[in-house]
Every structure is written in C-alpha cells, then in structure tokens.
Structure 1
Amino acid sequence: MEEATLERPWFRFYEPNVRRQVEIPELTLMGMLKQTKLKFPDNLALIFGGKKLTYSEMDVLIERMAKMLVLRGIKKGDRISIFMPNSVNWVISFFAIQRIGAVVVQTNPLYVESELKALLQDSGATGIISIPQLLPRIAAIKADVGLELIVLDYLSGFSGLAGLGLADNSVYVDLEEQLLDLSLDKLVPPEWVSQADDIAVLQYTGGTTGTAKGVMLTHHNLVANALQAWEWIGGQEGKERVLTVLPLFHIYALTACMNLAILSGGAMIILPRFDIDAVLQHINDYEPTLFPGAPTMYVAVINHPRIKEYKVSSIRCCLSGSAPLPKEVAIRFGELTGGRLVEAYGLSEASPATHLNPIFNARVGSIGVPAPNTNSKIMDLETGLRELPPGEIGELVVKGNQVMLGYWQRPEETKDVLRDGWLYTGDIAYKDEDGFFYIVDRKKDMIITGGYNVYPRDVEEVLYTHPAVREAVCAGIPNPYWGEIVKAYIVVKEGSSETEEEILKYCQGKLAGFKIPKKVEFRESLPKTAVGKVLRRYLVDEEREKILQKERAAEAQVVANQEIAVSM
C-alpha cells in the first residue's frame, strides 16, 4: 500500500508498541487457525455452557464436520448459511466451511422468513446450518430457496420434523451426531485449498443505499483486520480471554472476538445472547481480558445494582463499536474495572475496523485514528473528488488491506463505493489537525439500535402493507440506553383510527424484534421536499429539540427549587 510509507499526522499518537505497517501474510482463515493449533495445541480455545475445548480438540471436530459436508455434496465455492445463535458449534461450523473452500453466508437468527429468504436467494446458498427451534422458518421458505442440505445442531430427539412436512429431497443431518462420529476420522477430504484472495464470507449489509447486499470479504481482508486489531491492543500471545457476547453473525464479533482470539492463541468465552447477569457471572468465573461490545452493554454493566460483587478487574481493554460511546460511560467503566474502554469505528465493507482510539490516549467523541496499514481522508460531498483540509466536513473514505472485494453480483453499486482502491463509507465526518476523525452524521439513513443495524426501508415496507396506513416513515431517535430507537411516523387513511398497540402488534412476525418500532406517532402529514421526498432528518431534529426542551425545563425546575429553598 503505497500511501502507508508516507508520514501522516496520526502516527504521532500511536502507542509505542504499535507499528505503522504490519506485514500481512498470504494466509487463509483456516491457515491462521492451523498455525495457532500448532503453536498452542493445549490452550483453551472455546468456553461455552460450562464446557471447554482446546485448540487440538476443536481442530478434530472441524475436520470431522468438513468431511461430513464433503460427503453431503458441498464443494469449494458453495455458499452455506449459518443461522443460529453463538455457540461452540457456530465456530466449528464456520471453520469447517472454510476448511473445504466454501463461503459462509452470515444470517441473523432473529430474521423472520421473508428476511431470511431474501438473503439465501441473493447468495444462492445451497445449505444451511441451524438449530431445531428455527427449523419452522427454514421450512416455510425451503421450496423457494432450494436448499439441498440442512444441518441441525442437536437434532437427536427432536420430534418436530414430521409436523413440518419436510419429506423431500433435502438432506437433514444431526450436527452433534456427526461431530461424535469417529469413523469420519478415517476419511480424507479433497484438498480444496483456498487462496488468500478467495471469498471467505458474504456479510450482508445495507451499504449506502439501505438495500441488503452481500459484502465479499476475502481471507486476506479478514486475516489482515485481525492482525491490525491485535497490533493495536498489544496483548499477550496465548494469554488473552475474549468475552464473546456480540453476535458472531455480525462482522464486528467475527473479527474482534473470534478471529482476534484465534490469531492470538486466546480463548473465546461464548454466550448466546446478552443477559447482564450471565455476562457478569462469566466475567467473574472466567476472567476475560478483552470485552468487545456496544455502548448499551457497557451501560448495563456500570448500572448493575450489584456490580461491586463481581470481579471485573480482569478486563484490561474494551473496544466499543456499533454506536457512539458516551463519555461518562467510558469514564465510569474504567473506574470500575481499571481497564480501558475506547471507541472504534468500522463498517462491514472494511472487515470492519478502520479507525481506533489509542488505548491510553483516547479522545472522547472521536472514532480515533486510522489503523496500521490504513489511510483515510475526507472528501467533498458534492463530487467526492476533492480532499478537504482539517476541520471541514465531508465524506469519510478509507483505504487498506481490510477493504472488501466488492458487493456480491452488484458491479454498479461496487463502482459507486470503491474508487481507485478507496472505500467511500457514506458517513459524514471531519478530521482535526492531529489526524483524529469525528463522525458527524450518516449519508445513509441506517438506524443503530442496541448495536443492531436497522434500515428504515425494511420497516416502512411492512408498515405500508397495513390496510390503514397511507404514508409511513421511520427514523432513529436518540435514546440514552439503546443509542437510538426506531420510531415510526404514520399518516392513516381517511376514516381509519388505528392505535399504537395495533400497529406494533401488526409488525410482530413480519420483522425481527429489534426492527419493530418502539414508538409510533400518528400525523396528519409528513414533512417533504418540493419533489415529495420525506424529510427524515427534519423528524430527527424535531425529536432532538424535544429532548433539549425537556432538559432545559428540568434544569429550570432545579434552579427554581434552589431559589425556593434559599428564600425559606
């Protein structure tokens, strides 16, 4: 990367142990795992549900599953979806798919049928790995999608198959049974060796338009970003324990939890979902050193009524992403743990991390400085061709080893965001004289609620199917806990009298839970431009003004109470 050799202002703020340029080996994800297994065979790799696996034990299970997939007809380049919560078998499934040169299609287990169908059809997935509880959703769309292989975690004893009418040509496999099948050890799978520039993952995102697109991330992209993150945090090889409560279907967790842990020879402490009591108990029992998360998670930790009863001092570093990190949260978390909580920035198209705050010299409110092997600049919003000086607001663009290959089967949209190797992020930002970057706004209207991405168009399309809805628009409204919440603004048809409860009930089953609006406001009309485009930003500004008015009123009341107290 030719720009990496140039002097950049942010280099002065790198920690002493962080190199400006890191050598990225021509290595696949499976190659990365094999290297760690050879170096740390007896180190703990996975901790989940009270069970523990070493790297050697995990490698055996990955090899068995890879052989099973080959026996069931999976070939190099096939797309296979993983559709289940965090677990040991999620990790084994991921690397078994990589072992045979296939591609992981990341799918959110909270998705309802229509959402899952869209991703499977777009990716051309031929197989899916899931759990029995989610099989009804798969069954509802199977005929339309054409799945040839369905692998279910812990199928044994599950009696739901008969009632789902699944007597068809698909092959159903019990994952747990296969992982215990010693006869697979005698088989030798084909040596379908992946190359570093092969696609490893299709990570679905709304990109800059809100329409779900498969981000093509190569082995090189993902290995590079794990190395960049590891260089930044300056950990101890073979000693780290990474609390993995972020969902692994999300690119943030894939890199900052799984790949980072495996690269470093550390252990993943896996939880299927965020439950504050379970999280604190796992911190107490397993003493993680790294805790990648979203601000809502750290808010829950510092506000837990019995936080002082738990041993949280093992945590030395937390990279916060997915939403802006409030200053008071970072300070309070540091006071409780003695560790550092700093904000980072990334996006699916960059594997995801591009900017990180220096661990001991963070600037609150900033997303930090570009990672090693990464360049970044601010370009004018009008043409995207003119680089802007410090202090001026424009579009954030980045360049580095972690930047995607492109969007799956979408060459025109790829051209829009990848220009001469630079990724145009769609985020509006500026940088200061020292090279620290600050996000101002989003060009895209994506809402980030509790670390999950919600694209307003998805919600609006469901609302428009309601017989009483004439117009609908959704926006992200500031919220102290969730970062943002989804709020729907609705104009109903004449003669209709729907309630908020009826609208929310209508959305259930049609949208994943995190996408369902938390508030509904009925209006006579929506603010629009002269050409009829709804002014979503106006609604957000309106909500911010309401919050400011409440804060001013509260402050005025405090002053009034003090004056009354003085006069008495």
Structure 2
Amino acid sequence: MTTTDTAAPLRPWIANYPDGMVWDIQVDTRPMHEQVLAACARTPSATALDFLGGTTTFGDLAKKIIAFAGALQRQFGVTKGSRVALMLPNTPFYPIAYYGVLRAGGTVVNCNPLYTVPELGHITANAGAEIMITLDLQQIYEKAEKLVEAGQVKSIILCHFPDALPLVKKILFSVAKRKDLARLSASPIRDRVTWFHDMLDRNETPDAVVIDPENDIAVQQYTGGTTGIPKGALLTHANIAANADQSAKWFTTMFKPGNKAIAVLPFFHIFAMTTCLNMPLRSGMVVYMLPRFELKGFLALLVRAKPNLMPAVPTLISALANNATVTREQLDSIELIVSGGAALPGELRVAFAKKSSAQLIEGYGLTEASPVVCCGQFHGVNKDMSIGQPLPGTDIRFVDVDSGKPVGIGEDGELQVKGAQVMAGYYDDPQATSDAFMDGWLRTGDVGHMDEEGYVFLVDRIKDLIICSGFNVYPRTIEEALMTHDAVEETNVIGVPDEYRGEAPVAYVKLKADHAVTEDDLKKFLAERLNKIEMPKEIIFKDTLPKTLIGKLSKKELREEYAQTRARK
C-alpha cells in the first residue's frame, strides 16, 4: 500500500474521482507471473492467446511457462539476478518467455528487434545479458548472430516462427516463405543455439524461487534511446504488479474474463507490456496479437475477433481516423481505446469520433513509472487537452523548473511522481539515478499544471523547451495550433539555432491526402493563434515525418536533418 506522506501536496483529484473510485487503495504487488499462473488455474480451458488464428489456452500457457522456467534453470543456470534478453515481436513465444524468465527468478531485458546491432549491443552488454531469446526469421536472427560473434551475448534460445502459426498457415509458410528463415546449419554460432521447442519438450519442473517483490528486479527496461545513451530502468516485481493493479482498478469492469484485448503495440515496449500483456492475462482475458501494424490485416482482425479493448498510440488512431476505407462497422466492437506514448491532439480525437463511438481516453506515463501515472476517466468527466487524473495510489506535484519549489494550482512546473510503480533506479548508474529524483519524487521532465479538480495538463518536455529571445516557447503549443488547420495531418516542431533570437521554432508538417496549402497560408493561419515569439521561422513540408519504433513522432531525426541541411548552405 502507498503510505501517506505528511509533506504531500493537496490532492484535489480525490474529491473529483469517478463515483466509487478510491485513491488510498491496497495495491496488489504479488509477482506478475504468480498472478498470471493463478489466472491460468482458474480458467484452464479458456483461450489466452490468439496469433493469426492459432490459439493457446490458459492451461497450455501455464504448462509452457513452467516448462520453460525449468529448462532455463537446468540448462542455463538462470537464477535470481540473471539477465535474459528478449528480442521478440508479438508472438506466443513472448509471453511464455517473459513469464518463464520471471518464474525462474531471472530479470527480463526487452530488446526491440528493429534496433541496430550497436544499439542492441549496448543494451545486452550494459545489462550483462548472456542469454538472448529470439526468432529464426533471418532479419532478426542475423542481429543475434552478430551479437554472439562480438561476445556481447553467449547463448541464443531460438523460437521456430512457423510453430506459432495455425496448421494451414504453418504449412503454407514452410512452402512459400522458407527463404525467410535463418539457415542454422550455415550459421557460425550454431553451437551456441538451443531450440525453444526442445526446452519445452524437456518438461522440467522449476525449483521454487522466493521473490522479494519490493527489491527483486523483474524487468530492466531501457529508455532514452531517442535522446541519448539508453539507461536501464530497474522495475521491481512490485513496480510492475502495482501498475497493472492500479490501472485495472481505474478501468473498473473492463479487465475481466470474457473481454478481449487487441495487441498490435509491441510487448517489448513498456506501455504495451502493461496494458496489452500483464493487465489482460492476469484478468483472464484473451489477447489477440499482431506482430506489426498493417492496416488491411489489422481491420480483418477487428472484424474476426471483435475486441472491446484497444491500447493505441496517436499514429495508430490517426491511421484509422484519416483513412477513407475504414468504416464504423469495422470498429463497432471496441468499447475502450487507451491512447499513450505521445500527446493526443484534440483534432484527432474529434476526427476519430466520426468513425467510432468507442470511449477514447488519454493516458500518461513513462518507463520509470512502469509506466502509467495519469489517465482520463473511463466513466466520467474528461477535459479537453488533459491527460486525466493520477491513478489510485499515485501522488503527483508540480515544482518550479528553476527553483524546485512546489507551485500552486494552475501554475506551470515540472511534473513529479511518487507511487508503488516508481522504479528503484537506473542500473549501474548512480549519478543518473540521483538526477532522476528530487526529495524522493521521480522527475518526469514534463512541464504542465493541475487544475482545481486534479486534472493534469502538460505543456511540453523540459528538454524540448525553446528559449527564444529569453522567452520560453513550447513546441506543443505550436503543434496544437497547426493541428487545428484542416489540411494538416501531422506536425512536429523543433528548436534550431538562430543568430538573432538564440533559438527559434521550425515546424515540420505532413499534409492530409488531396490537401494543399503554402507556408504563407499556414503562417497567416497561425498569426491569429500564436504570438510573434511562437511563430515558426520556417515551415517545412514532408511526405512523412520520422517516428520512433512504436509510432511516436520523433524530434531527434528532424534536428539532425535540419543541422545537415544548414551545414550544406
């Protein structure tokens, strides 16, 4: 349970929570693998996983988790503190490996399969992950192969991709797509490879492992890859479990047996790990998985599965809202969409409402908080441009960016967090850990304020702040103004060096299909919505805007592109 801090700020959200919601809750911090295995025991014949039509029951899932945990202990000596890297897209292999590692006592180190080899090498070397679990698809396997050759990983556990498919698709894949599989016989590291299915076939019973939820690390999640060298956030078993419980309580009856979640967001990302994996499976729900987003396949799955829960990012919502081929009937089953990962523009919310009657709410979090901190109300009042209120058991405050002193209601400051979901620190980085906290509060790096009813409004990231002629200019303010133009589909604003003003904003814009507008047109439009200091010095049109690997608009590539363009002039 989150204890009450006598120095805590006022909590105006408590009096304005949805009816029946309690803030001062007893948080369930039992290790997540124990909760999922308990759900498996309750409904062993119910479907837990669906991958392209191939299904796994809760009973089978439990058997495979237990068998994999036993093999990890017997064959690889995995025990408390062992780091095991998972480089897997959304497939049935992921939950088996994830919960199997936790049951064996190990720590999961998530790796994005789309990362470059140097990025993966930094993560595995920093974490000390000697084992990597991955697929035998050549595109992914060759990266694992290079990591082993470089000495950054010692052993590979290899999942045979066709095993994840239903029988007919497995046969078709083996005939038509065989060339996509790695040829293990020709691999220089074949003696370091163990097949995943062979480990399950051993049917080993794992030794009992006593987990200390408050101190033992469940997941070492790397963050900061778009802004600098990634750091390993140490998330304890209690952190992971607490956030799943806090979030499930917030959504009241949504997480229960019989409901269906669609998981197109990748499990290796912290938002999906909590909302698409841990929360549904602990609740006895079925999870429909896709390995990547492709509109035609995604819509076909919606029609077949009729899920009622869809965690999403704004770019996914935009793809559905702005595509003329997407119909209301295809989206009809969805009751709740939780948007995270990036700010949800108000115009996008309006556009999506024309396609779906689903409750679309925005959540906010960060890796270091496992990740959810605030969320809009499922049944209740939501305010435009707000990320909602703090979850049960979560404390927040805003402090002045310069002095560090708490600010009042309605005043802008840095958002800081306390709660059972907040990380233990960064792995092997005491300075970064120290910098991440202020008086025991986790610093988010986000600037915003809270209103008198406890609703939180974010202005921007501290690191994205543009100092223009000595004044603070927030890119999000400009982005929101641009998004109100009928022709603008996406926009991203960065700060660039400026000889006169020190820094100046530059806006990158992607237009909607069949729309045309000039830079002068947009500047005239913005002149009625922004002050002169906020006006972009330049508006650059692009067919696509760079995104992170979960679909979040990224400023890093735009800064690099602008610097290179400027250097050539």
CA RMSD of aligned residues (A): 3.0
Aligned-pair CA distance for 1:542: 9.2
1:434 is paired with a residue whose SS is coil
**In the alignment, what sits opposite 1:316?**
335
CA offset digits 1:168-206 (Å, max 9, x no partner): 5x3x11223433x2xx23x32221232212100011011
**Equivalent residue in structure 1 for 2:154, among 148, 151, 157:** 148
Alignment of 1:236-251 (within 5 A): 236=254, 237-251=256-270
| Separation in structure 2 between the aligned mates of residue 547 and residue 319 of structure 1, nearest angstrom | 35
Residue type of the alignment partner of 2:148: K
Q: CA deviation at 1:486?
A: 9.5
Instruction: Map residues 50-449 of structure 1 onto 2, 5 A cutoff.
Output: 50-76=53-79, 77-132=81-136, 133=138, 134-154=140-160, 160-166=183-189, 170=192, 172-179=193-200, 181=201, 184-185=202-203, 187-197=204-214, 198-206=216-224, 210-236=228-254, 237-308=256-327, 310-359=329-378, 360-384=380-404, 386-445=405-464
Distance 1:177 1:9 in 2: 55
Deviation at 1:330, TM superposition (A): 2.0
Describe the SS at the equivalent of 1:314: coil
Query: Which amino acid letter does the alignment assign opposite residue 125 of structure 1?
Result: A
Mapped partners of 2:151, 2:403: distance in 1 = 40
Residues 543 and 188 (structure 1), Cα distance of their counterparts in 2 relative to 1, 3 Å cut: closer
Separation in 1, partners of 2:131, 2:316: 33
8 Å CA contact 2:29, 2:242 repeated in 1? no
Alpha-carbon shift at residue 209 of structure 1 (Å): 6.8
Secondary structure of the 1:337 match is: coil
Secondary structure of 1:3's partner?
coil
Query: Is this contact kept in 1: 2:370–2:422, CA < 8 A?
Result: yes
Counterpart for residue 558 of structure 2: none
The number of residue pairs the alignment matches comes to 479
2:35 pairs, out of 13, 26, 32, with 32
Displacement, 1:354? 0.3
C-alpha distance in structure 1 between counterparts of 2:301 and 2:495, whole Å: 37
SS of 2:334 mapped into structure 1: coil
Answer with 476-485 or 277-286: which moved more: 476-485
Q: Is the CA contact 2:365–2:372 (under 8 Å) kept in the aligned structure 1?
A: yes
1:3 aligns with 2:4: yes
Could you tell me whether the CA contact under 8 Å between 1:316 and 1:339 is conserved in 2?
Answer: yes
Alpha-carbon distance in 1 for matches of 2:132, 2:504: 42
- SS class of match (1:538): strand
- Runs of at least 5 residues in structure 2 that lack an aligned partner in the other structure: 163-177, 466-474, 511-516, 528-569
The verdict on how the C-alpha distance between 1:383 and 1:555 changes in structure 2, with shifts beyond 3 A counting, is closer
In structure 2, the CA distance between the partners of 1:487 and 1:177, relative to structure 1 (3 Å rule), is farther
Moved more, 201-210 or 241-250: 201-210
Q: Please tell me whether the aligned partners of residues 51 and 288 of structure 2 are also in contact (alpha carbons under 8 angstroms).
A: yes
Q: Deviations over 1:357-379 (max 9, x none)?
A: 11231112111111100111110
* TM-score in terms of structure 1 length: 0.78
- State the distance in 2 between where 1:165 and 1:486 align: 46
Q: Quickly say closer, same or farther: Cα 1:372–1:309, change in 2 above 3 A.
A: closer
Alignment correspondent of 1:454: none
Q: Structure 1 runs of 4+ off > 6 angstroms?
A: 4-7, 479-482, 486-489, 541-544
Give a deviation string over 1:193-229, Cα, whole Å, max 9, x none: 3221210001101199733100000111111111111
* Equivalent AA in structure 1 for residue 395 of structure 2: N
- Shift of the alpha carbon at 1:346? 0.3
Deviation at 1:42, TM superposition (A): 2.3
Q: Which amino acid is the alignment partner of residue 34 of structure 1?
A: L
Structure 2 Cα separation of the partners of residues 355 and 415 of structure 1:
24
CA 1:81–1:528 in structure 2 vs 1: closer, same or farther (change >3 Å)?
Answer: farther
Contact kept? 2:27, 2:246, Cα under 8 Å: no
Does the aligned pair in 2 maintain the 1:354–1:374 contact within 8 Å?
Answer: yes
The question of whether the paired residues in 2 share the 8 Å contact of 1:40 and 1:55 is answered with yes
Partner of 1:551: 522
The alpha-carbon deviation at position 418 of structure 1 amounts to: 2.0
% identical equivalent positions: 31
User: Is the Cα contact below 8 Å between 1:45 and 1:54 reproduced in 2?
Assistant: yes
In 2, the alpha carbon distance for the partners of 1:488 and 1:24 equals: 42
Q: Residues 484 and 214 of structure 1: is their aligned pair in 2 closer, same or farther, counting only changes over 3 Å?
A: farther
Distance 1:282 1:167, change over 3 A: closer
Contact 1:79 1:102 survives alignment (8 Å): yes
TM-superposed CA distance for 1:240, in Å, is 1.8
Q: Verify the 8 A CA contact 1:240 1:264 in the aligned structure 2.
A: no
* Cα pair 1:13 1:361 within 8 Å, conserved: no
Q: Deviations over 1:234-281 (max 9, x none)?
A: 225212211101111110000011111012211111110111221111
State how far apart, in whole Å, the 1-side matches of 2:494 and 2:403 are: 32
Determine the C-alpha separation between the residues in 1 that align with 2:209 and 2:84: 16
| TM-score (ref. length: structure 2) | 0.78
Shift of 1:21: 2.5
The verdict on how the C-alpha distance between 1:555 and 1:362 changes in structure 2, with shifts beyond 3 A counting, is closer
- Aligned CA distance change for structure 1 residues 542 and 383 (closer, same or farther; 3 Å): farther
